Amino acid sequence: MKELLEQFLIETRELVQSAAEDLLALEASPGDVEAVNRVFRAFHTLKGSVGLFDYPPWFALLHAAEDGLSAARTGTVPADANLIDVSLETLDATARWADSIEKTGQLPGGATAEAGALAERYRHLLTPGPKARGADAAVLPGWALQLVDASADFGGKPSTAVRYRPRDDCFFTGDDPLGLVRKVPGLLAVSVAPAAPWRSGEEFDAFACNLDITLLTAAPREEAEAVFRLVGDQVTVVDMPGGTRAAMAEPAVTPASGAVAAAILAEQVRVLAAMNGSDTDAGRLEASARAAANALLSVGQDGDARRCERMLGRGSDALREVIESVLAGGPMGPSPTEASEPTEQSQPLGGDAVRTLRVDAARLDALLALIGELVIARNAFGHLTTRAEAGESAGTLIRAIREADTNIGRLSITLHRSVMSLRLTPLSQVFRRFARLVREAARALGKNVVLHIEGEDTEADRGIVESLFEPLLHVVRNALDHGLEDAATRRRGGKPEAGHIRIEASQDGDSVVVTVSDDGRGIDPAFLRRRAVERGLRSTEAVAAMDDDAVTDLIFAPGFSTAEVIGALSGRGVGMDAVRAAAERMGGRVSVESRIGRGTVVRLHLPRTIALTRVMVVRASGESYGVAMDAIVEVVRKPRAGIHAVAGGNATVLRDQTVPVVRLVDLLGHEGVSLATQEALLLIVRAAEGTIALEVDRFEERIDAIIRPPSGLVRSVLGVAGTTLLGDGRVLLVLDPASILASAPSVGRQTWEGR
Amino acid sequence: MAVVRQTDAEPGAPIRLEGVCPVEDAETLAALILDDPNAPVNWTACTRMHTAVYQVLLRMRPTVLGPCGDPFVDAWLTPLGPE
C-alpha cells in the first residue's frame, strides 16, 4: 500500500508539472489544439490515479476539471484565460494535497471546501448564464449524508463517517467486520447493506462477505481509524463538519449536483407527484428512477443514485421522497466551523521529496573497479604526451593514441552499462498497482474479471518503469471497458463467464516486451473501417485497400475512439493514441493483434535501458543533423536518373519497391539549393506509414551518443527527438523522421498517394 | 452450536439462535432457512452475533421474533424482517 502511494505521489507531481507547462504553452499560443489535448490527458490520468485511492473531494474536483477540459477539446467552451486560471489553481491544489498526503496520509483541512469551490468554477464555465447558487459547495459523499439523515443523535457536532467494505474472503481470514464496528466509540448511526446486489438464483455462499458497512461516530477521526487500522485498505474515513442538520439541508440548493442535475431531479419530483401515488404506470416510474439515478451518477453522487434505483420496487411515493431528500440534503457549503478551522494548508508542506535508490553493494564495488581502470587508462595519455615531446614519429604515436582511445571507449561503455544497471527496477512495481485497479474497475462495470500477472520480475530502467504505468493503464482500461463482454454475452458465446486479462512482461534481447491480452470480443476491422471513414481519418477507398492488421492499427490514430458510449473508465477518445505517443517517447513501440470473438493482444516493446544510441550524422543545406541508426533501414546512392517525378513528388525504385523520395531540406523548410550531383544520397528510413527515402547532401560520421530529450526552446521544434554533443563541442539536433513526416502532411500525403 | 431447531419440528416452527453465534453458524442457519423459508427466526437468546450470521438474515430476510439478545444488533441493526 505504501509503495503504491509513493508511486502515486511521484507520478502526480510529474503530471502536475507537465500539465502546468502545457497550460502555460496554451496561454502563450491560444488555440493550440495539441496543448489542450495534452492538458486533458494529464488531468484524465490524474483523475484515474486519484480514483485508486479514496480522496472523494479530490476525485470530484478532477472529474469536474476533466469535464471542463473535455468541453474545451471539442470547442464547446473556449480554452481561454478563465479555464487556464482555474486549471492552474487546480494543479496547485493537487500538488499541495499530494504533499499533505505524503506527510500525514490525508488531505489537509479545508481541502473539501476548496475542491468544491474549484469544481463549481469548472461547472460555471460549462453553464454560462445565471450563476448557480451556493457556489462554494463542498462535496461530501452521498453515503455519509445518508448516515446523517439516519442518525437520531446527530447533534450538529463535527463527526466522523466511516465506510467499511470488507473483502469477500474476510470471514476466512477470521475477520468479524461488525465485531470491529462494535469497538467504535461514540457511535451515532450504523447501516449495513449489500455491497453488490444479491444475485438471485445463485446458490447463496454464506461465507462470502458482501456487505457495505457505513457508520457515523462522534469520535474524532484518529480514534475511528485506530479501530480499523488492520483493515485500513477496506475503509474510507470522511470528516463530517459540524453544523445543524437544517444547515446541511438548506432547501433546493444542490451545488454539487450542478444546475442541470438539480433540474432533472426536480422534474422527476414533478412527474412522480403527478402520478399521485398510483403505481400502475411501472414504465414511467422506472424512467423516472433511471433519469434521477443517471443525473446523480453524472455528478458523482453514486450512493444517492443507487438509493434511487433501490426505490424502484417501492412505488412512486418512496422514490419521490428519496429524490426530494437528495435535493434538500445535498452536499453543503462550507459551514462556519469548517471555515474557522485552523487552515493547515497555509503551513509549508512537503518540500522536495527525497528520491532514493537502493543499490546492491556488489554493483557499487564493480563500479569502483571500473573507475580505477579508467584512471589508469587516462594515465596512458600523460605517457603519450611525454613520448610526443621526445619527438617520437607520428606513425607510432597514432597507433598508441588509437589504442588508448579504444581502451577508454570500451571502459566508458562498460561504465555506462553498469550505471544503467543500478537503475534497473523490477516491473512488479507497476504491475502490482493493477491488482486493485482491475478489481475495482471490474466491480464498477459489473464484470467478472480474473487478472493474471506474469514476469513481474523482469527489470527495466527506472525511468521506463515509472513512465510505463500511464500507457499500461489506458490499455488495461480499454481491455476492461471495451474488450471484455458482460457475463451474459460471454455465456452466449460459449466462453467462461469470468473474463481474463493477462499482463505479462519478458525480456527480449535489449528490450522489454509488456503484453496485455484479454479474451474478450476482439476488434472488428469492419467496424474500424466504418469508424475511420466517419471520423474523416481515412477515405473509403483507403480503408478498403488496407489489410485487417493495418486497420486494427488505426486504434492508435489520434482522435480515434471506438467506444459507442462514454464509459466511466475510458472511451473519451484518449487512450490508445496516448499509448503510442508514450511508447515512442520511451523509445519503444506498440502493436496490436486481435481476432474477433477471441480477444485482443497489445504489445509494448520498450527499451530495457536508456541506452547509448548510434546516430548517423548527415548534412543538409550546410547544417549537420543526426538521425538515430535504428530508424535507418539502409543508406543508398542512387543515380539521379533513377529518381522519377511522379504525381505530387519524387519516387525511386528500390529492390522492386517504389519508395517516395523527400529532400530533408524541404522537410525542414529550408531554402535549399538543389545540388547538381550525379548521385543522390538517400537514407531509407522507417516512418509510420512505411519506408521513405530522405535525400541528404552528405553523410558524415557515426557516433555513439546519449540523446537528451528536447528541453527549453528545442522542445517546441517539431520533429526533434533530442540533442547530443559532438566531439568538437557543437550541439547536434537529432531528428525524428517519422514525426517530421507526420507534421508535413503536404509532403507526406502527396508522396503516399503517389505510391 | 448455537442454531437450534427441533428435528421433528413442524414446518413454520421457529429457528432459535442461542448464546454466541460464531461464523460457522452462518451456513447452518442458511441451510435451515432454505429448508423452510417460512420459518421465523427467534434471536432473543442470541448474545453475540457474528457478521456472517447477520449477513444470512440480511440476505434471506426471514421473519425475526422479538428483540435481538445481542445489544449491539438490537441498538443499531434493527429492524430486520421480510422485505
Query: Do residues A216 and A236 share a domain?
Result: yes
Q: What is the distance between the alpha carbons of residues B51 and A179, in angstroms, rounded to a whole number?
A: 7
Which chain B residue has its CA at the smallest distance from A314's CA? B83
Query: Do residues A297 and A318 share a domain?
Result: yes
DSSP A57-90: HHHHHHHHHHHHHHHHHHTSS---HHHHHHHHHH
Query: Do residues A478 and A570 share a domain?
Result: yes
Q: Report how far apart the first and last C-alpha atoms of chain B are (Å, whole number).
A: 28
User: Could you tell me if A161 and A215 are in contact, meaning their C-beta atoms sit under 8 angstroms apart?
Assistant: yes
Q: What is the distance between the alpha carbons of residues A228 and A202, in angstroms, rounded to a whole number?
A: 32
Residue A343 corresponds to which amino acid? T
Q: What is the distance between the alpha carbons of residues A392 and A14, in angstroms, rounded to a whole number?
A: 57
Q: What is the distance between the alpha carbons of residues A309 and A326, in angstroms, rounded to a whole number?
A: 13
**What residues contact residue A667 under an 8 Å CB cut-off, 6+ apart?**
A694, A719, A740, A741, A744, A747
Query: Do residues A383 and A519 share a domain?
Result: no
Reference A522, options A555, A497, A547; nearest CA is: A555
Q: Is residue B81 assigned to a domain?
A: no
CB pairs under 8 A between A and B: 55
Report the residue of B48, B76, B77 to disrupt the A interface, i.e. the one with the largest count of A CBs within 10 Å: B76
- Interface contact A166-B51, CB threshold 8 A: yes
Q: Is residue A682 assigned to a domain?
A: yes
User: Could you tell me if A486 and A446 are in contact, meaning their C-beta atoms sit under 8 angstroms apart?
Assistant: yes
| pLDDT of the residue at A259 | 56
pLDDT digits over B15-64, tens only? 899 888 988 889 889 888 888 888 889 988 899 999 999 999 988 888 88
More confident residue, A252 or A67: A67
- Interface contact B52-A171, CB threshold 8 A: yes
Q: Chain B residues with CB-CB distance to A under 8 A?
A: 23, 26-27, 29-30, 34, 49-52, 54-56, 58-60, 72-73, 76-77
pLDDT digits over A6-17, tens only? 878 888 888 888
Domain of A147, CATH number, reads 3.30.70
Q: What is the distance between the alpha carbons of residues B58 and B77, in angstroms, rounded to a whole number?
A: 10
ipTM over 0.90: yes
Which chain A residue has its CA at the smallest distance from B29's CA? A206
Averaged pLDDT, A189-203: 79
Residues of A in contact with B52 (CB under 8 A): 171, 206-207, 209
**A206, A229, A248 — which closes off a domain?**
A248
Q: What is the distance between the alpha carbons of residues A660 and B3, in angstroms, rounded to a whole number?
A: 84
Reduced to 3 DSSP states, what percent helix, strand and coil does chain A have, rounded to the nearest 5?
A: 50, 20, 30
Query: Has residue A126 got a pLDDT over 90?
Result: no
The cell for B47 is 448474545
More confident residue, A629 or B79: A629
- Our count of domains for chain A comes to 6
User: Could you tell me if B12 and B39 are in contact, meaning their C-beta atoms sit under 8 angstroms apart?
Assistant: yes
Q: Range with the lowest mean pLDDT among A50-64, A151-165, A216-230, A593-607?
A: A151-165
Q: How confident is the model at residue A604 (pLDDT cuts 50, 70, 90)?
A: very high
- Interface contact A194-B59, CB threshold 8 A: yes
**A233, A248, A263 — which closes off a domain?**
A248
Query: Has residue A221 got a pLDDT over 70?
Result: yes
User: Which percentage of chain A shows pLDDT scores above 70?
Assistant: 77
Query: Has residue A159 got a pLDDT over 70?
Result: yes
Report the residue of A178, A207, A231 to disrupt the B interface, i.e. the one with the largest count of B CBs within 10 Å: A178
User: Could you tell me if A176 and B23 are in contact, meaning their C-beta atoms sit under 8 angstroms apart?
Assistant: yes
Beta partners for residue A513, in sequence order: A506, A605
More confident residue, A609 or A735: A735
Domain of A702, CATH number, reads 2.40.50.180
Q: Chain A residues with CB-CB distance to B under 8 A?
A: 166, 171, 175-179, 181-182, 187, 189-190, 192, 194, 198, 204, 206-207, 209-211
User: Could you tell me if B23 and B53 are in contact, meaning their C-beta atoms sit under 8 angstroms apart?
Assistant: yes
SS (H, E, C) B2-64: CEECCCCCCCCCCEEEEEEECCCHHHHHHHHHHHCCCCCEEEEEEEEECHHHHHHHHHHCCCE
Place of cell 496554451: A26
- Interface contact A209-B49, CB threshold 8 A: no
- Interface contact B50-A189, CB threshold 8 A: no
Reference A155, options A243, A222, A224; nearest CA is: A243
- Interface contact A210-B55, CB threshold 8 A: yes
Backbone phi and psi for residue A116, each to the nearest 5 degrees, phi listed first: -60, -45
Q: Is residue A350 assigned to a domain?
A: no
**What residues contact residue A501 under an 8 Å CB cut-off, 6+ apart?**
A438, A449, A450, A451, A452, A476, A479, A480, A483, A484, A516, A517, A518
Query: Do residues A685 and A633 share a domain?
Result: yes
User: Could you tell me if A432 and A395 are in contact, meaning their C-beta atoms sit under 8 angstroms apart?
Assistant: no
Query: Do residues A467 and A589 share a domain?
Result: yes
If DSSP codes are grouped into helix, strand and coil, which group holds residue A281?
coil
Q: Is residue A353 assigned to a domain?
A: no
Residues of B in contact with A192 (CB under 8 A): 54, 58, 77
Query: Do residues A600 and A617 share a domain?
Result: no
Query: Do residues A204 and A272 share a domain?
Result: no
Expressed as residue numbers, the domain containing A314 is 255-333
Residues of A in contact with B51 (CB under 8 A): 166, 171, 175-179, 209, 211
The cell for A663 is 529532400
Reference A747, options A739, A509, A588; nearest CA is: A739
Domain of A487, CATH number, reads 3.30.565.10
Reference A77, options A88, A65, A89; nearest CA is: A65
Length of chain B: 83
Query: Do residues A44 and A175 share a domain?
Result: no
Residue A220 corresponds to which amino acid? P
Distances (CA, A) of A6 to A42, A354, A391, A429, A628: 18, 11, 62, 11, 35
Residues of A in contact with B77 (CB under 8 A): 178, 190, 192
More confident residue, A744 or A265: A265
Q: What is the distance between the alpha carbons of residues A48 and B80, in angstroms, rounded to a whole number?
A: 38
Report the residue of B20, B48, B55, B70 to disrupt the A interface, i.e. the one with the largest count of A CBs within 10 Å: B55
Q: Is residue B82 assigned to a domain?
A: no
Distance from CA of A215 to the nearest CA of B (A): 10
Residue A418 corresponds to which amino acid? S
Q: Is residue B61 assigned to a domain?
A: yes
Q: How confident is the model at residue A631 (pLDDT cuts 50, 70, 90)?
A: confident
Residue A453 corresponds to which amino acid? I
Place of cell 547509448: A612
- Interface contact B51-A187, CB threshold 8 A: no
Residues of A in contact with B79 (CB under 8 A): none
- Interface contact A209-B55, CB threshold 8 A: yes
Q: Is residue B83 assigned to a domain?
A: no
pLDDT digits over A162-173, tens only? 889 888 888 887
User: Could you tell me if A620 and A664 are in contact, meaning their C-beta atoms sit under 8 angstroms apart?
Assistant: yes
Distance from CA of A280 to the nearest CA of B (A): 20
Q: Is residue A133 assigned to a domain?
A: no
Q: Is residue A402 assigned to a domain?
A: yes
Q: Is residue B24 assigned to a domain?
A: yes
Q: Is residue A703 assigned to a domain?
A: yes
Averaged pLDDT, A61-85: 84
Residues of A in contact with B27 (CB under 8 A): 206-207
Nearest to B50 among A176, A194, A210 (CB): A176
Residues of A in contact with B34 (CB under 8 A): 204
Which chain A residue has its CA at the smallest distance from B80's CA? A192
Instruction: Give how far the C-alpha of residue A562 lies from the chain's centroid of Cα atoms, to the nearest Å.
Output: 18
Q: What is the distance between the alpha carbons of residues A207 and A172, in angstroms, rounded to a whole number?
A: 8
Q: Is residue A650 assigned to a domain?
A: yes
Expressed as residue numbers, the domain containing B70 is 3-76
Query: Has residue A88 got a pLDDT over 60?
Result: yes
Q: The sheet that has A159-164: what strands, in order across it?
A: A187-194, A211-217, A159-164, A235-240
Q: What is the distance between the alpha carbons of residues A282 and A277, in angstroms, rounded to a whole number?
A: 12
Residues of B in contact with A204 (CB under 8 A): 30, 34, 56, 59-60
Q: How confident is the model at residue A570 (pLDDT cuts 50, 70, 90)?
A: very low
| pLDDT of the residue at A516 | 94
Nearest to B27 among A177, A187, A207 (CB): A207
- Our count of domains for chain B comes to 1
**What residues contact residue A155 under an 8 Å CB cut-off, 6+ apart?**
none
Which chain B residue has its CA at the smallest distance from A150's CA? B76
Q: What is the distance between the alpha carbons of residues A688 and A534, in angstroms, rounded to a whole number?
A: 22
Domain of B14, CATH number, reads 3.30.750
- Interface contact B58-A179, CB threshold 8 A: no
User: Could you tell me if B37 and A204 are in contact, meaning their C-beta atoms sit under 8 angstroms apart?
Assistant: no
- Interface contact A192-B77, CB threshold 8 A: yes
Q: Is residue A219 assigned to a domain?
A: yes
User: Could you tell me if A350 and A100 are in contact, meaning their C-beta atoms sit under 8 angstroms apart?
Assistant: yes
Query: Do residues A267 and A320 share a domain?
Result: yes
- Interface contact B55-A204, CB threshold 8 A: no
If DSSP codes are grouped into helix, strand and coil, which group holds residue A274?
helix
Reference A234, options A225, A243, A242; nearest CA is: A225
| pLDDT of the residue at A197 | 80
Residues of B in contact with A211 (CB under 8 A): 51, 55, 58
Question: How many Cβ atoms are within 10 Å of A414's Cβ, its own excluded?
Answer: 15
Query: Has residue A599 got a pLDDT over 50?
Result: yes
Report the residue of B20, B34, B51 to disrupt the A interface, i.e. the one with the largest count of A CBs within 10 Å: B51
- Interface contact B58-A194, CB threshold 8 A: yes
Nearest to A198 among B51, B52, B59 (CB): B59
Averaged pLDDT, A398-421: 86
Nearest to A182 among B30, B59, B72 (CB): B72
If DSSP codes are grouped into helix, strand and coil, which group holds residue A755?
coil
Q: What is the distance between the alpha carbons of residues B15 and B43, in angstroms, rounded to a whole number?
A: 8
| pLDDT of the residue at A503 | 94
Residue A565 corresponds to which amino acid? V
The H-assigned helical ranges of A355-482 are: 361-389, 394-422, 428-445, 462-478
User: Could you tell me if A498 and A448 are in contact, meaning their C-beta atoms sit under 8 angstroms apart?
Assistant: yes
Beta partners for residue A341, in sequence order: none
The H-assigned helical ranges of A251-334 are: 258-275, 282-298, 302-310, 315-329
Distance from CA of A334 to the nearest CA of B (A): 30
pLDDT digits over A352-404, tens only? 334 556 677 888 888 889 999 998 888 888 888 898 898 888 888 899 888 88
- Interface contact A189-B58, CB threshold 8 A: no
User: Could you tell me if A641 and A633 are in contact, meaning their C-beta atoms sit under 8 angstroms apart?
Assistant: no
Place of cell 471506438: A562
pLDDT digits over A453-482, tens only? 899 889 888 878 888 888 898 899 888 888
User: Could you tell me if A247 and A338 are in contact, meaning their C-beta atoms sit under 8 angstroms apart?
Assistant: no
Query: Do residues A536 and A583 share a domain?
Result: yes
Query: Do residues A504 and A550 share a domain?
Result: yes
**What residues contact residue A89 under an 8 Å CB cut-off, 6+ apart?**
A118
**What residues contact residue B22 under an 8 Å CB cut-off, 6+ apart?**
B2, B50
| pLDDT of the residue at A603 | 93
Residue A286 corresponds to which amino acid? E
Length of chain A: 755
User: Could you tell me if A42 and A18 are in contact, meaning their C-beta atoms sit under 8 angstroms apart?
Assistant: yes
Q: Range with the lowest mean pLDDT among A186-200, A601-615, A730-744?
A: A730-744
